[in-house]
């Protein structure tokens, strides 16, 4: 019933916007960088006379309908010189613009026209953008510029401690983030167990993080969307850039294939093998590398092809006994086509996989696991008029899950060959979304996504008594794996279980005056894949499992409200948001669940729920010599798994408990000061409540070992986390006749050498035999130098 | 085998020469609970008549002296009705010298302590003998640690679960199942950087039940040889098979189990 009303509402809104018809013409085109022809995402095109405007889409395209007439249009983009141009619109016109980068010099007046003004009006909320140039200046550990680490400085984004993998958005889990690189899903965003992310900053053009009010275009994960676009490459001239750092080095080449029509980009990054390990004279190594590639070609005015690829691996090797390799690979072909002046489409065909391999020589086996998917997306941007833009499309994904395969390395091996049953699934979605200006003060973005998930047949399906794969032993008061009654087979064309979800999305903005607005949003999202992990933070060997008969899809409802304000002619901006979300069917694991090489994961999981709520504040200083922001988040993130029946206790006695990434207070301050043309100084300060953990409250001796007895799950806290980082960027400037531009970054991480607790563990001291608490801290003060060049 | 895969995250800690420090953490203290170590172990080639059961209470985490339980009554009843009463000796140990172990037979444990009755039942699980012990020197992070491999041949026709005990200066418990090694000759594995030449290592293989294997799996994860942090599993309450029939909420820790065992001593070269 609810959806019928929604459909009526949609109809009404359409109707409302199409009543006042008059002669309209379309202005459309692509906005690019003048030096490289790189398309620019999110450029503002304003038409002050008509008090309207448009923003370029993910492929640099814009389209706007205006009544016949003469207009002065303004095009502005952060970091670029604005353009003003008078046009006489008496027919449909295609007009491409090229923007020139603003000179770095402070003395020149850079026109910073109403950049934020439009955002005040837009219903878009809970979205953070970080430009690559901002990210490059932030002080970071080992001087390694890192996309995900930078996100952690934003409100509502945190992680489960230094050196943990992934990131958590608004109290959501790591596997609930949809990470897209050029529209392709990335399953593991971490190198070196989470110290670095898989994104090479040199190859990235733009990134956007949606924490709430997520448009209907996105789905499949419930917590957030990190949408990252790679650069297309320079189609004007050949360029190279790179950097040499403490951990890794980077090199990227780009240039035209056909001048002004086609370009290529290829970028590689590698850490130094044996980096930390060589010191101890042994044959161990630990390193990572990744490769980003892109080809783009403009077939004609209306058609463009883009081929992009990513390949990354982490490799660990310990004294020939142990070899571990894992990483993502992505290949993606896209076709941009402009149907008419106001319909832009993108068709993507994407292959993406995640591989985890292990070779344990001393035990005598190899282990392989992974996930593969083939994804076809067709997305339409339809510019109806200057008040209404529609986005609609469809997405189909076919998944193949390989939970693991064990192969003995030779005949002498004591290990038998074993294949965990492959799983298959189809995920489909159609969506319709409208960006709609309802009046001068009121605008909305609303839409609906209909997603379906089909779990397909597989070789072995377990059958359990009463369909309960987890058994409760009331006498001993424990959960355990139920016995498998029989195993049946079904064909791959058969649907074992189907799920449908209506996912309404709505975001509203009401402009109070030129500088202030209030916004509200609601979104429902469904997630059909689950990362099977019962450690505090995911590990690379965790496998993804599809929903099915026993594991249900996670379904989120999120509500957010916010207040947005620009001060002092946009020198400062303030964003305050409150959010509440709950997620059904968040799985949890029974005590003693063994997830490794488990062919029947359903026997160790129970369906539970999670919720999170909080308040975020972001105060930014956007212009002047000193820029930066202060971000503060006050939040709570919890989870619970009640018993299935009244006599069962559930997990943690069915009580809510803090998630591993719950942080009550999370404060970060980031500042950047331009001292002069050559030097720029940057600083971060971070303060966070310590992570939730569990301390023992007793101990006993059993079979000769001391066993700690633990209290309420995650009922204790590690000590507070705080640190200060500093960095300085030095740009010597380009010398006459030389083409090499370069800059140096000098960094100091954790300046006052705070021994932040990575963990507190409890153990028996092997010398004294006494129990003790041990704090492990990962990073003390770390200086770093990075050299970057461009020519 | 499964456990070996889990060693990986520990790498992280190694890589970044991290800093460990003993710190003062105030801990809450829970009410004492009864701990029952009722492990009946019958070594191959012995009569298995001397058995003991140890009762103690939990103590605050930083105070480890054993709190023995002295005035309990402890009794095991065999399937055939034969009763074995365990009499208090010292340090919480209750002994019986006339025990009569019988493979695959069921036994009932009954303990009465402070007017509460605790019971459990379990079968005596058989075990395959140790075949031989091999020593190699490529273990650990340095690739030069001494490794001890104690080989045994898994019977193919049934599911088997094993407890290995390696006693050097310290005691190490390792557990194995035969899911991926069924019917093969395979080894129990012990390695650390304290093992040195001339050490005399006691090696035991014990046959255990599936549910005791699951119990030990959880128990071991509570102790952990690793150092905590993001790759640790959540702590759990480790409940055994002994039920407090009088007041189930006042459950005891520990387990009642009966195992056949084989043992050998190995001289490190």
How close B83 comes to chain A (CA, Å)? 24
- What is the β-pairing status of strands A93-94 and A97-99? unpaired
How far apart are alpha carbons B211 and B191 in whole angstroms? Answer: 27
Three-state DSSP state, B189: strand
Contact A170, A155 (CB under 8 A): no
The pLDDT confidence band at residue A496, using thresholds 50, 70 and 90, is: very high
Cβ-Cβ contacts under 8 Å, B58 against chain A: 698-700, 709
Cβ-Cβ contacts under 8 Å, B251 against chain A: 477
Tokens of B217: 């799996």
Q: Please, which residues 206-235 of chain A have a Cβ atom closer than 8 Å to chain B?
A: none
Whole-number pLDDT of residue A117? 43
Region A361-387: what's the mean pLDDT? Answer: 90
Asked if A408 reaches chain B (Cβ–Cβ under 8 Å), the answer is no
Cβ-Cβ contacts under 8 Å, B221 against chain A: 592
Asked if A263 reaches chain B (Cβ–Cβ under 8 Å), the answer is no
Whole-number pLDDT of residue B13? 43
CATH number of A224-790: 2.40.170.20
Of the candidates B1, B61, B239, the beta carbon closest to that of A478 is on B239
| pLDDT tens by residue, A413-462 | 888 899 999 999 999 999 999 999 898 889 999 999 999 999 999 998 99
Average pLDDT, whole number, for chain B?
A: 87
Whole-number pLDDT of residue B65? 81
Cβ-Cβ contacts under 8 Å, B26 against chain A: none
CB-based contact B30 A711, cutoff 8 Å? yes
Average pLDDT, whole number, for chain A?
A: 87
Closest CA to A211 of A125, A116, A118: A125
Contact A357, A366 (CB under 8 A): yes
If you ran DSSP here, which 8-state letter would residue A503 be given? Answer: E
Maximum separation of any 2 CA atoms in chain B, in Å:
60
A477 — alpha (psi -120 to 50), left (phi > 0) or beta?
Answer: left
CB-based contact B232 A770, cutoff 8 Å? no
CB-based contact A536 B232, cutoff 8 Å? yes
Tokens of A591: 């005590």
Contact A73, A87 (CB under 8 A): yes
- CA torsion angle A596 A598 A603 A604 (round to 10): 0
Contact A667, A684 (CB under 8 A): no
Of B242 and A543, the one with more pLDDT: B242
How close A247 comes to chain B (CA, Å)? 12
CB-based contact B222 A165, cutoff 8 Å? no
Three-state DSSP state, B255: strand
How far apart are alpha carbons A276 and B231 in whole angstroms? Answer: 21
Cβ-Cβ contacts under 8 Å, A539 against chain B: 8-9, 231
Residue A630 burial class via C-beta count within 10 angstroms: exposed 0-12, middle 13-18, buried 19 and up: middle
Asked if B249 reaches chain A (Cβ–Cβ under 8 Å), the answer is no
| pLDDT tens by residue, B167-193 | 988 888 889 999 888 999 999 998 888
Asked if A768 reaches chain B (Cβ–Cβ under 8 Å), the answer is no
Of A753 and A121, the one with more pLDDT: A753
Closest CA to A386 of A50, A124, A71, A88: A50
How far apart are alpha carbons A766 and A666 in whole angstroms? Answer: 37
Closest CA to A685 of A132, A156, A139, A145: A139
Cβ-Cβ contacts under 8 Å, B56 against chain A: 700-701
CB-based contact A163 B12, cutoff 8 Å? yes
Contact A642, A608 (CB under 8 A): yes
Closest CA to A417 of B268, B255, B14, B182: B182
If you ran DSSP here, which 8-state letter would residue A202 be given? Answer: G
User: What beta strand segments (E) does A474-553 contain?
Assistant: 478-481, 486-488, 495-513, 516-527, 529-532, 543-546
Residue of A nearest to B12 (CA): A193
Contact A608, A590 (CB under 8 A): no
Tokens of A500: 């449908």
Contact A749, A139 (CB under 8 A): yes
Whole-number pLDDT of residue B203? 96
CB-based contact B142 A534, cutoff 8 Å? no
Of the candidates A322, A708, A777, the beta carbon closest to that of B18 is on A777
CB-based contact A591 B230, cutoff 8 Å? no
Asked if A316 reaches chain B (Cβ–Cβ under 8 Å), the answer is yes
Of the candidates B18, B181, B222, the beta carbon closest to that of A758 is on B18
Whole-number pLDDT of residue A588? 92
Domains of chain B: 34-125+239-258 (2.60.40), 126-238+259-267 (2.60.40)
Q: Compute CA distances A700 → B60, B65, B67, B211, whole Å.
A: 9, 9, 9, 21
| pLDDT tens by residue, A94-146 | 899 999 887 644 333 333 333 344 466 777 888 887 777 778 777 777 778 88
CA angle A782/A783/A785 to nearest 5° reads 140
Region B12-27: what's the mean pLDDT? Answer: 70
Percentage of chain A with pLDDT > 70? 93
How far apart are alpha carbons B136 and B191 in whole angstroms? Answer: 10
CA angle A104/A57/A63 to nearest 5° reads 110
User: What beta strand segments (E) does B114-160 contain?
Assistant: 116-125, 130-139, 145-153
Region A537-546: what's the mean pLDDT? Answer: 84
How many residue contacts between A and B have a Cβ separation below 8 Å?
Answer: 271
Cβ-Cβ contacts under 8 Å, B206 against chain A: none
Least confident among A98-107, A225-234, B66-75 = A98-107
Domain extents for chain A? 2-113, 224-790
Least confident among A42-56, A555-569, B31-45 = A42-56
Region A769-788: what's the mean pLDDT? Answer: 85
SS3 content of chain A, % helix, strand, coil (to 5): 10, 55, 35
Percentage of chain A with pLDDT > 90? 48
CB-based contact B237 A277, cutoff 8 Å? no
CB-based contact B58 A284, cutoff 8 Å? no
Q: Compute CA distances B6 → A305, A597, A602, whole Å.
A: 44, 11, 21
Q: Which element (helix H / strand E) includes A357?
A: strand A343-360
pLDDT at A2 over 70: no
Whole-number pLDDT of residue A51? 78
Least confident among A511-515, B5-9, B102-106 = B5-9
Region A527-542: what's the mean pLDDT? Answer: 85
Whole-number pLDDT of residue A181? 93
Asked if A411 reaches chain B (Cβ–Cβ under 8 Å), the answer is no
Asked if B174 reaches chain A (Cβ–Cβ under 8 Å), the answer is no
Cβ-Cβ contacts under 8 Å, B147 against chain A: 362
pLDDT at A736 over 70: no
| pLDDT tens by residue, B196-254 | 889 999 999 999 999 999 999 888 888 754 444 556 677 888 899 999 999 999 999 99
Contact A196, A362 (CB under 8 A): no
Model's pTM, two decimal places? 0.89
Whole-number pLDDT of residue A9? 54
Asked if A321 reaches chain B (Cβ–Cβ under 8 Å), the answer is yes
The pLDDT confidence band at residue A23, using thresholds 50, 70 and 90, is: confident
- Could you give the strand order of the β-sheet that contains A184-185, starting from the edge strand earlier in sequence? A127-129, A204-210, A224-230, A177-181, A184-185
Whole-number pLDDT of residue A22? 64
CB-based contact B235 A777, cutoff 8 Å? no
End-to-end CA distance of chain A: 61
The pLDDT confidence band at residue A66, using thresholds 50, 70 and 90, is: confident
Contact A697, B27 (CB under 8 A): yes
Whole-number pLDDT of residue A164? 79
Whole-number pLDDT of residue A248? 85
Asked if A366 reaches chain B (Cβ–Cβ under 8 Å), the answer is no
CATH number of A2-113: 2.60.40.1120
B191 bridge partner residues: B147
CB-based contact A193 B9, cutoff 8 Å? yes
Cβ-Cβ contacts under 8 Å, A770 against chain B: 62, 64
Three-state DSSP state, A220: coil
Cβ-Cβ contacts under 8 Å, B25 against chain A: 695, 760, 773
pLDDT at A769 over 60: yes
* Start-end of H helices in A374-521: none
Residue B4 burial class via C-beta count within 10 angstroms: exposed 0-12, middle 13-18, buried 19 and up: middle
SS3 content of chain B, % helix, strand, coil (to 5): 10, 45, 45
How crowded is the C-beta side of A268, counted as CA atoms within 13 Å? 4
How far apart are alpha carbons A489 and A456 in whole angstroms? Answer: 11
Least confident among A49-63, A383-397, B120-134 = A49-63
Q: Compute CA distances A21 → A382, A385, A410, whole Å.
A: 18, 10, 77
Asked if B239 reaches chain A (Cβ–Cβ under 8 Å), the answer is yes
Q: Please, which residues 634-663 of chain A have a Cβ atom closer than 8 Å to chain B?
A: 660
Of A681 and A18, the one with more pLDDT: A681
End-to-end CA distance of chain B: 26
- What is the β-pairing status of strands B253-267 and B34-43? parallel
How far apart are alpha carbons A157 and A161 in whole angstroms? Answer: 12
Beta-carbon contacts of residue B130 (< 8 Å; ≥ 6 apart):
B150, B151, B152, B203, B205, B262, B263, B264
Asked if B204 reaches chain A (Cβ–Cβ under 8 Å), the answer is no
How crowded is the C-beta side of A751, counted as CA atoms within 13 Å? 13
How close A703 comes to chain B (CA, Å)? 7
Cβ-Cβ contacts under 8 Å, B218 against chain A: 591-592
Residue among A190, A655, A699 with most chain B CBs within 10 A, to mutate: A699
Three-state DSSP state, A653: helix
């Amino acid at each position: 019933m609810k959806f019928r009303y929604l459909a009526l509402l949609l109809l009404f809104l359409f109707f409302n916007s199409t009543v006042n018809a008059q002669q309209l013409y379309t202005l459309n085109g692509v906005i690019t960088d003048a030096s490289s022809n790189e398309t620019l995402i999110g450029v503002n095109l304003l038409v002050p006379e008509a008090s309207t405007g448009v923003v370029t889409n993910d492929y640099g395209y814009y389209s706007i309908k205006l009544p016949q007439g003469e207009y002065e249009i303004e095009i502005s983009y952060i970091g670029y010189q604005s353009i003003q141009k008078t046009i006489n619109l008496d027919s449909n016109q295609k007009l491409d613009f090229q923007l020139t980068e603003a000179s770095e010099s402070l003395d020149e007046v850079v026109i910073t026209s109403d950049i934020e003004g439009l955002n005040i009006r837009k219903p878009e909320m809970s979205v953070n953008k970080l430009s690559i140039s901002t990210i490059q200046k932030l002080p970071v550990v080992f001087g390694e510029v890192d996309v995900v680490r930078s996100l952690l400085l934003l409100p509502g984004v945190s992680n489960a401690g230094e050196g943990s993998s992934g990131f958590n958005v608004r109290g959501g889990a790591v596997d609930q983030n949809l990470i897209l690189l050029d529209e392709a899903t990335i399953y593991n965003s971490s190198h070196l167990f989470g110290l670095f992310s898989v994104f090479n900053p040199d190859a990235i053009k733009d990134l956007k993080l949606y924490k709430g009010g997520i448009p209907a275009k996105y789905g499949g994960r419930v917590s957030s969307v990190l949408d990252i676009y790679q650069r297309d490459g320079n189609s004007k001239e050949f360029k190279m850039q790179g950097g040499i750092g403490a951990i890794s080095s980077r090199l990227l080449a780009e240039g035209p294939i056909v001048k002004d029509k086609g370009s290529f980009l290829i970028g590689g990054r590698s850490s130094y093998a044996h980096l930390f390990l060589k010191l101890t004279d042994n044959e161990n190594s630990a390193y990572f590398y990744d490769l980003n590639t892109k080809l783009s070609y403009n077939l004609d005015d209306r058609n463009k092809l883009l081929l992009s690829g990513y390949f990354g691996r982490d490799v660990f090797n310990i004294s020939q006994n142990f070899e571990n390799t894992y990483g993502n690979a992505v290949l993606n072909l896209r076709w941009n086509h402009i149907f008419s002046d106001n319909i832009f489409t993108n068709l993507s065909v994407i292959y993406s996989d995640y591989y985890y391999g292990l070779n344990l020589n001393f035990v005598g086996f190899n282990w392989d696991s992974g996930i593969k998917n083939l994804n076809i997306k067709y997305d339409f941007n339809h510019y109806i008029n200057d008040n209404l833009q529609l986005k609609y499309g469809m997405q189909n994904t076919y998944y193949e899950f390989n939970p693991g395969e064990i192969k003995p390395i030779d005949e002498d091996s004591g290990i038998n060959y074993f294949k965990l049953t492959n799983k298959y699934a189809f995920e489909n979605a159609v969506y319709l979304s409208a960006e709609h200006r309802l009046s001068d003060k009121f605008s909305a973005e609303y839409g609906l996504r209909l997603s379906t998930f089909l779990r397909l047949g597989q070789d072995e399906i377990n059958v359990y008594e009463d369909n309960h794969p987890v058994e409760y032993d009331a006498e001993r008061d424990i959960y355990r794996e139920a016995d498998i009654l029989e195993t049946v087979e079904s064909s791959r064309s058969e649907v074992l279980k189907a799920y449908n979800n209506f996912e309404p999305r709505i975001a509203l903005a009401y402009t109070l005056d030129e500088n202030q607005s209030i916004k509200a949003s609601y979104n429902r999202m469904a997630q059909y894949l689950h990362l099977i992990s019962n450690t505090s933070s995911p590990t690379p060997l965790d496998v993804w499992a599809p929903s099915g008969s026993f594991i249900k899809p996670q379904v989120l409802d999120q509500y957010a409200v916010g207040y947005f304000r620009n001060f002092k002619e946009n020198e400062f901006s303030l964003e305050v948001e409150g959010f509440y979300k709950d997620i059904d069917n968040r799985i949890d694991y029974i005590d003693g669940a063994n997830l490794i090489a488990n062919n029947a994961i359903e026997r160790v999981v129970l369906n539970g729920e999670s919720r999170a709520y909080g308040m975020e504040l972001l105060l930014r200083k956007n212009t002047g010599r000193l820029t930066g922001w202060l971000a503060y988040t006050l939040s709570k993130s919890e989870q619970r798994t009640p018993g299935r029946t009244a006599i069962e206790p559930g997990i943690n006695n069915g009580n809510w408990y803090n998630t591993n990434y719950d942080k009550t207070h999370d404060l970060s301050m980031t500042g950047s000061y331009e001292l002069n043309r050559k030097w720029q100084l940057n600083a971060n300060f971070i303060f966070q409540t310590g992570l939730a953990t569990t301390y023992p409250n007793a101990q006993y001796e059993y079979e000769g070992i001391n066993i700690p007895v633990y209290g309420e799950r995650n009922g204790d806290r590690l000590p507070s986390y705080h640190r200060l980082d500093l960095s300085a960027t030095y740009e010597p400037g380009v010398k006459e006749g030389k083409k090499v531009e370069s800059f140096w970054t000098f960094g100091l991480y954790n300046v006052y050498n705070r021994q932040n607790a990575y963990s507190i563990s409890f153990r028996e001291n092997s010398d004294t035999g006494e129990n003790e608490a041990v704090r492990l801290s990962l990073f003390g003060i770390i200086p770093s130098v990075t050299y970057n060049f461009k020519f | 085998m499964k456990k070996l895969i889990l060693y990986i995250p520990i790498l992280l800690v190694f890589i970044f020469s991290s800093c460990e420090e003993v710190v003062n953490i105030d801990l809450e203290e829970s009410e004492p609970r009864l701990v029952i170590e009722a492990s009946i172990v019958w070594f191959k080639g012995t009569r298995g008549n001397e058995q003991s059961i140890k009762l103690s209470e939990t103590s605050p985490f930083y105070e480890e002296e054993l709190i023995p339980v002295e005035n309990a009554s402890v009794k095991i009843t065999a399937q055939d009705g034969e009763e074995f009463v365990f009499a208090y000796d010292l340090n919480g140990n209750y002994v019986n010298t006339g025990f009569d172990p019988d493979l695959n037979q069921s036994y009932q444990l009954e303990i009465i302590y402070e007017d509460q009755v605790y019971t459990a039942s379990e079968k005596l699980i058989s075990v395959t003998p140790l075949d031989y012990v091999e020593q190699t020197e490529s273990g650990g992070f340095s690739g030069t640690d001494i490794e001890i491999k104690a080989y045994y041949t898994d019977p193919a026709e049934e599911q088997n679960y094993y407890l290995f005990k390696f006693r050097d200066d310290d005691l190490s418990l390792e557990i194995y199942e035969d899911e991926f090694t069924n019917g093969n000759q395979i080894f129990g594995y012990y390695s650390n950087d304290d093992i040195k030449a001339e050490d005399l290592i006691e090696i035991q293989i014990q046959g255990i039940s599936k549910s005791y294997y699951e119990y030990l799996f959880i128990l071991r994860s509570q102790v952990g040889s690793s150092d905590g942090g993001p790759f640790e599993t959540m702590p759990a309450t480790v409940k055994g098979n002994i039920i407090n029939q009088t007041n189930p909420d006042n459950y005891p820790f520990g387990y009642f189990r009966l195992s056949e065992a084989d043992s050998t001593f190995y001289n490190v070269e």
